[in-house]
Structure 1
């Protein structure tokens, strides 16, 4: 049992460490690129925000989960549990909102010139920062109830009016009230997932039509750009597919955990699924997005010592 817990702890540590390393690399790359005077794409601002909140998701959940698996009991008090759960929930919501905005932004950018979204192409990039601030305000306010019902670790196993979340616990309420709260708090999440699915379908349609046109028209004469734009669009489709898949599975388990006292293995699985997207997405961007490689090569050319 001890060796199993240690293996689980190192597994969460590896997942958190690699994911945080990838997100931090992208954050550092974008920051240094900006400071050295290179021009970033408008979409890079969204990716900067996404990598930052993904780092928060990983650190706020991965570190406590690792410590618990390694046997560090009661390392958080009431205040610590409230802050950790609150930060994780806010960061998770921000990751969802930012990914939704990312897919919507790309759908607008690649839309044909004569579409209804033509006017938005020049307006949306101006409001990226405003959107990020709005998302932070919304999620900070809507998740404040976590500061009320999340408590420190349950030291007495005979107490039945609390729910055990391994290293923290939560006050148990009436099932109807819990169901109502979960439904209300999930409405924005479901709306974002629906928007991502719709915009992804629209992007696939645009790519399909592009594939048909390229058989007759030279690629450089198309209305929305050539290969770099196409590769960036495909990268975003991969990110959206990953997010929706992992988010849906994690949401099902999280819903069960909120209503039933399940074994710790189910909780560990839920944590693993919650960390899959933030830990894998930076490497998808590094490998798939040609602009990231361009930033790296440009930066390396500027800082490489001259012979």
Structure 2
């Protein structure tokens, strides 16, 4: 086994373990908040779905990628390959939709009462749960098409018709079929990213106008930023991080589709970049969430 494969395997393994622990810890944090009835924000439900989607995509990609790096002859069967890639794509798709809903929901929440968003402020929390479940159903249906492209190693299939991902293979079809497949999978993602950018721009504009109105007050006092303001900045940071890593991931995915026989570096870099957001996002959220159940318990015991 080459030294570069050992290093890559250790990196994938540590990458997966850190991401899984971070997302599990954050999910446990939200469950504790629910159990102790601490302050619950309307966005908490969306974040829970985001964590589950991150865990699904991280484990389905990171675990087999780590095993493949340590053992070059490791190949899964046809059913296992289809299941892993299908669940990975579902988790990735739900992560995109969830991040989009998070940014749009926050834009609606902080919009001025005189704007045309005002009516949606009351209705938005009611449809949060149904929107999340709908995103899971749509991604489960859309990504069924991936089953016709992923396969395990077959003796009756020539290697010239396969792209090797280290533990599974992708089957090449004609140009028309591949183009249709790429369009069906990338169009919803493109719409979500466009909505994210629009919502983020709206949030930045709203915050800027609010700061301009509050400028006379800020000159005489320095009040602490409100929980809504901190939550908005956290979501802006989260969405910006997502768009950055998603853009890099798209570049590598396009390269994988265009290159006839992708090399070792391209395949592994695409896998590394695709796992960056699920690893980084829980630590961003934990570092900026000021809620503590211990404070709540102390207040309950105090007279």
Q: Same fold (TM over 0.5)?
A: yes
Q: State the distance in 1 between where 2:3 and 2:210 align.
A: 54
Distance 1:183 1:300 in 2: 52
Name the TM-score, length of structure 2 as normaliser. Answer: 0.91
Contact 1:74 1:167 in 2 (8 A): yes
Q: CA deviation at 1:295?
A: 3.1
Alignment partner, residue 242 of structure 1: 241
Post-superposition offset of 1:75: 4.5
Q: Distance in 1 between matches of 2:210 and 2:45?
A: 26
**CA distance change for structure 1 residues 301 and 257 in 2, over 3 Å: closer, same or farther?**
farther
Per-residue deviation, 1:33: 1.8
The superposition leaves residues 195-241 of structure 1 with CA deviations (integer Å, 9 ceiling, x where unpaired) of: 0001101111111112212212469xxxxx95211111111111111
How far residue 273 of structure 1 moved from its aligned partner, in angstroms, is 0.8
For the 8 Å contact 1:246–1:274, the answer to whether it is kept is yes
Large movers: runs of 4+ above 4 Å: 154-158, 299-302
- Look up the match of 1:222: none
Unaligned segments of structure 2, at least 5 residues: none
1:111 corresponds to: 111
Counterparts of 2:167 and 2:155 in 1: how far apart (Å)? 10
Gaps of 5+ in 1: 220-224, 303-307
Q: TM-score, normalised by structure 1?
A: 0.90
Work out whether residues 257 and 267 of structure 1, in 8 Å CA contact, stay in contact via their aligned partners in 2.
yes
How far did 1:156 drift? Answer: 8.6
Describe the superposition over 1:38-90 as per-residue Cα deviations: whole angstroms up to 9, x where unpaired: 34211111111111111111111011111101116334211100000000000
Structure-1 residue corresponding to 2:227: 228
Is the CA contact (8 Å cut-off) linking 2:107 and 2:199 kept in structure 1?
yes
Is the 8 Å Cα contact of residues 20 and 279 (structure 1) preserved in structure 2? yes
Matches within 5 A, 1:246-285: 246-260=245-259, 261-285=261-285
